[in-house]
A and B are shown apart, each in its own frame.
Chain A
């Protein structure tokens, strides 16, 4: 088995890669269960986009109303899924949390998935990050979103009200 190499701060990053694109219901259940696991500090979901409107071709401007684009409730936060979930990357505390997450995935996903450790969030600001966020960017936001997008549109801070 390959050795898990933690980051400089001692944390581990993992990626869940299901063999199928998740529908909104499965994604909601999986994200809700992952939210209950202690020791996850950051999570990023990625997958093919579900646009609101047709953006190319003769039908440009028509409403898409994709059946997979739904509002999912994770703890006390409602999130509109604008993608079909195909990949989840997590920043976690240690190897015990990793095994706990694997057990959650095995319980919920009805098909095989790849589960791997690696460095998925970048630790230094790229030129794009610098151009978007300036020299004093929050390091925990690096690699969490498309640099062209607004933070409010793509980043949710779960339990923020509780900690305030």
Chain B
């Protein structure tokens, strides 16, 4: 029988969503063109070639190495792309993803990525075209609600603020806003204006966000209601405490 990865315990909708994010079994909700994504990321001009930091690996004449032979380089590494980042902030008011689950998604489903998890934001560093692949999947699928999540390279403030009157997460740099029912972004992730208005799609309704979120909240699905998760969290805490207990005698 083939092994099937289990990813995350629990019987609630939040646990099921966490499993979806980790496994990469995600529903695609919107379409964002490559040029729009490049403009929003702001690392290079939309439509331009990827700048490189070294010649393509095929031209470099790599030394004989069993690891290099066993592990195929990612497309970005093969082409010699620069390392660039994408950073997201997700509102605590039932945004679909949490920083940890964005990291799990990137680390489990992609090679050559370096996810960084912080309390209110999550960054993925990788070769430029590899990073764009991760960013595109996260933006186009149920991992992101354009109203409750945002591409934020700096000034990420907003994830723990109350929502605005229109239900959109506060953004100090006003990179994107609700216009006629859809979220329009006209600045890149560090707040520099771009030459286009990128349509990021319709924000989720409150009910849909509550259904798709990976946040445990007492006003939606409470953490303590997920008995299996609580049991496993207790088990992990107990085992790591025992592991850390090393009397020097």
Contacts and interface: CB of A to CB of B under 8 A. Distances in A.
Given A54-B191, A58-B192, A67-B177, A23 B158 contact: no
B164 interface: yes
Given A48-B158, A48-B161, A57-B153, A23 B166 contact: yes
Interface in B17-40: none
A56 interface: yes
Given A59-B191, A59-B192, A62-B192, A54 B173 contact: yes
Contacts of A65: 174
Nearest to A19: B162
B165 A57 contact: no
Contacts of B157: 48
B163 interface: yes
Interface residues of A, number: 27
Interface of B: 153-155, 157-158, 161-167, 170, 172-174, 177, 188, 190-193
Given A48-B158, A48-B170, A62-B193, 4 more contacts: A21-B161, A21-B170, A67-B174, A84-B164
B174 A21 contact: no
A111 B166 CA distance: 11
Contacts of A86: 161-162
B165 A59 contact: no
A48 B155 CA distance: 12
Contact of B154 (A21, A48, A59): A59
- With most chain A CB atoms within 10 A of its CB, the pick from B157, B158, B165, B190 is B165
Contacts of B190: 54, 57-59
A58 B87 CA distance: 14
B65 to A, nearest CB: 36
A110 to B, nearest CB: 8
A20 B162 contact: yes
Nearest to A109: B165
Nearest to A66: B174
Contacts of B191: 54, 57, 59, 62, 64
A67 B186 CA distance: 12
B172 A48 contact: yes
A50 interface: yes
A18 B154 CA distance: 27
Nearest to B171: A66
A51 to B, nearest CB: 6
Interface string A53-87: 01111110010111110000000000000001010
A84 B165 CA distance: 10
Interface string A78-122: 000000101000000000000000000000001100000000000
24 contacts: A20-B162, A20-B163, A20-B165, A20-B167, A21-B165, A23-B166, A48-B172, A49-B172, A51-B172, A54-B155, A54-B192, A56-B154, A56-B155, A57-B153, A57-B190, A59-B154, A59-B173, A59-B191, A64-B191, A65-B174, A66-B173, A67-B177, A84-B164, A86-B161
